[in-house]
Structure 1
Amino acid sequence: MRLKLICALAIAGIALSGCSLPRGAGITSEVLHEQNAKEPTFSVVAVSRSNVAQVASWPVTGWSGGYNWIPAKGGPNGVSIVSGDHVKLVIWDSQDNSLLTAAAQKQVSFAPMEVSPQGTIFVPYLGEIVVNGLTPSAAREVVQKAMEPIAATAQVQLSVEAGMRNSVDLVSGAGKPGTYPLPTRNYTILTLLAEGGGIDPTLKNPLVRLIRDSKTYEIRADRLFAEANKNTTLRGGDKVIVREDDRYFTSLGATGSENLIGFERESITALEAMSLVGGLNGSRANPKGVLILREYPQKALRADGLKGPKMRNVIFTFDLTTADGLFAARNFKVNPMDTVLATESPLATANTVFGLMRTVVGLNNAL
């Protein structure tokens, strides 16, 4: 009677192993079962060193595939005067019969004058003087020379207050957002971030965005800090925004973490992704069955499957028990919105069944 009971439980356990025991993910054969159907809805690509370069040439998904940025380019020291700036003049004249100063005074100050859309300022007795595109020192010399016919000994002092076209906006993501005037033509984005209190430390994987002339440029903050040639020079009217890099991939199955995983770098390989999710669960995962699920846009499809996938839904498979599979995973880039799935090992299910049987036998012996 006892033997019959054990056999019955063993048969039931084997049946359970095939269909109903609780697991974190399916086994590889279950997930990929449809690939053998007459009309499958996805294609399967086993990634190896022989085809990883070909797959890498397929259109990227989830983002543009790279950040565009303006390389650093220095300019001459000083800032050119532009429309909207305010120019202040102080004229010193020692002549007793000066046209500009009162009898008891030797200098006269003019209220700040806004540079017109035509790039000029109006100076009494001199008329419109073009200052657009000049540095403050060059503009002072122009005013000085224009004044010689009426006040040969007069001295001109000129200062400029930057208008909106000679300032930049630090919009968000820093300690002190605001509008910052450009003191020189060599004012860089790192200087702006430093004066703005630095990047908000609560931002994860910060991204720096520059808006200029209706175009948007982006770079990861860590790369901006690391590469000197990325410290671009700012122009008047630039807007700088610091925000979190919102790219992510999904981790599921027998991994160390089932979660949305943010991109800690500009690009992440499949092997690095496994590290970010805490690796494979040693007691559950099948290292021969690591899958990456990806969806391509319709325009990316190619009939030959060389320069693009044949189907929109693609499952890439990796065997991490071989050197070929490890090197392939090391060179395969995960795209934003991908799903990294570690399938369950069939042995894990079998061990669960045998553990159940041992428990049942133990209970039966106790009867």
Structure 2
Amino acid sequence: MIASSSLNSPAGRPGALAGILALWLAVFLPGCSLTPGMDMKKGSDISDATVPVMKDGKLVKEKVNIVPITADLIIERENARLQDASKLSLPSSEAGPYRVGLHDRLQITVWDHPELNDPGGEKILPELAGKAVGDDGTIFYPYIGTIHVADKTVSEIRDLLSQGLSKYFKKVKLDVRVISFQAHKVNVVGEVKYPGVQSMVDTPLNIAEAISRAGGVTAEADLSHVTLSRGDKLYPINLQALYEQGNNGQNLQLMPGDVLNVPDRYNSKVFVTGEVGRQQSLQIHKGKLTLAQAISEANGVDFNTSNAEEIYIIRAGQAKPEIFQLNGESPDAMILAEQFSLKPHDIVFVGTAGVTQWSRVLNQLLPSSFSQVMTRGAFYGF
């Protein structure tokens, strides 16, 4: 009865509440390492967890260094990017004369000898006119017989015919032209309006023209990561640089069998999470998104709950994962953030302040009845 009377009296309540609080702290304080939500070890220069890393063609487990974002880092990375771009080996953009291929149709005109020319003239459909190159790469011509023309230029075929006919006619004059191009084709696929096969003609076909023939790109196209497949090699093509900066080095001449792929923008995203105004994924627009832009698009850092020292960029590439850290306490840190370019699949994480972490422990681990007790304790001066 004495204990009960003491507890129920206003004077006894603060002591009882203090005892309850001490008990709760003793139980739950050791569990602060299990704070709800994401966290990074403050002040550490290496990650807590081991991650898969590709080494010598094999996946191994390693911890990842946490690299501070400084002016030196940005300069080093930009210089390395420019150096890599200068070393990038693109295929030759020089296209030679058109070489006749299988199923092309040739129109051969011999002056002063109409009996050797195709009958019907313009009344014959182009797909039926002239002489078709057979599967063996040959055509048959009167007086000369079978001639191998595949992989030869028009001028080379003209010389062969002139030499053959000169045995039967004096001063042979003739003309050869391709009237139906069927042999050499390229594929334009992905985010273009009319994807499909395009025939190559006797004028060179470059990347810009091929995309124009395909009706142009769609609104979902990622122009910064176009690829050209030639044989067993894959080449990166930056159409954004071609269209906006006039970089004609990207406007390669296409070759027979090339596959030009314009990808969509789905994979060109970064993810902003942690203590920001709005956690979300962001689209990389026109091939560039800086850290400052990403934070701004996410409605900025929540200064009430965040630890501005702990702004992380997690680049989880399987071959070489990386983690970068920006100390955003100083306003001039945003200069570095504006110069730090993000890559597709980067994760921007803004850390949580310690007081916010403790508040969340209380809110999520302690029962609501305890909050009521604390409220009553505050009323009685605890």
Q: TM-score, normalised by structure 1?
A: 0.66
Structure 2: tracts of 5 or more residues without a match = 1-8, 50-61, 363-370
The answer on 1:198 being equivalent to 2:219 is no
1:180 deviation in Å? Answer: 1.5
**As a proportion of its length, which structure holds more helix?**
2
1:253 deviation in Å? Answer: 0.9
The residue aligned with 1:304 is none
The residue aligned with 1:340 is 348
1:237 is aligned, of 257, 272, 275, to 257
Larger RCO: 1 or 2 (CA < 8 Å, sep 6+): 1
The answer on 1:212 being equivalent to 2:230 is yes
1:290 deviation in Å? Answer: 0.9
Aligned partner of 1:125: which letter?
A: Y
Against the structure 1 CA distance between its residues 81 and 122, is the aligned structure 2 distance closer, same or farther, given a 3 Å change threshold? farther
Pairing 1:307-318 to 2, within 5 Å after superposition: 315-318=323-326
1:189 deviation in Å? Answer: 1.0
Structure 1: tracts of 5 or more residues without a match = 301-312
The residue aligned with 1:45 is 66
Pairing 1:1-367 to 2, within 5 Å after superposition: 8=17, 25-26=37-38, 42=63, 45=66, 47-49=68-70, 52=73, 56=77, 70=90, 73-75=93-95, 79-91=97-109, 100=116, 111-114=130-133, 120-129=138-147, 131-132=149-150, 134-136=152-154, 139-140=157-158, 142-152=160-170, 155-156=174-175, 158-164=177-183, 166-203=184-221, 207-226=225-244, 227-229=246-248, 230-245=250-265, 246-264=267-285, 266=287, 268-295=289-316, 315-322=323-330, 325-346=333-354, 348=356, 360=375
1:324 deviation in Å? Answer: 7.0
Against the structure 1 CA distance between its residues 36 and 74, is the aligned structure 2 distance closer, same or farther, given a 3 Å change threshold? closer
Instruction: Give the Cα–Cα distance (whole angstroms) in 1 for the partners of residues 92 and 239 of structure 2.
Output: 15
Aligned partner of 2:66: which letter?
A: V
Percent identity between matched residues is 17
Q: TM-score, normalised by structure 2?
A: 0.64
Higher deviation after alignment, 148-157 or 25-34: 25-34
1:4 deviation in Å? Answer: 7.4
Against the structure 1 CA distance between its residues 28 and 162, is the aligned structure 2 distance closer, same or farther, given a 3 Å change threshold? same
SS at match of 1:70: coil
Instruction: Give the Cα–Cα distance (whole angstroms) in 1 for the partners of residues 228 and 47 of structure 2.
Output: 45
Alignment check: 8 A CA contact 2:222 2:262 kept: no
1:250 deviation in Å? Answer: 3.2
1:208-232 CA distances to partner (integer Å, 9 max, x unpaired)?
2211122112234423322331221
Higher deviation after alignment, 82-91 or 209-218: 82-91
Against the structure 1 CA distance between its residues 293 and 126, is the aligned structure 2 distance closer, same or farther, given a 3 Å change threshold? same
State the Cα RMSD in Å.
5.2
1:233 deviation in Å? Answer: 1.4
Against the structure 1 CA distance between its residues 188 and 332, is the aligned structure 2 distance closer, same or farther, given a 3 Å change threshold? same
Q: How many residues align?
A: 337
Alignment check: 8 A CA contact 2:42 2:310 kept: no
Instruction: Give the Cα–Cα distance (whole angstroms) in 1 for the partners of residues 129 and 163 of structure 2.
Output: 18
The residue aligned with 1:303 is none
1:225-260 CA distances to partner (integer Å, 9 max, x unpaired)?
223312211112211122125244432211244344
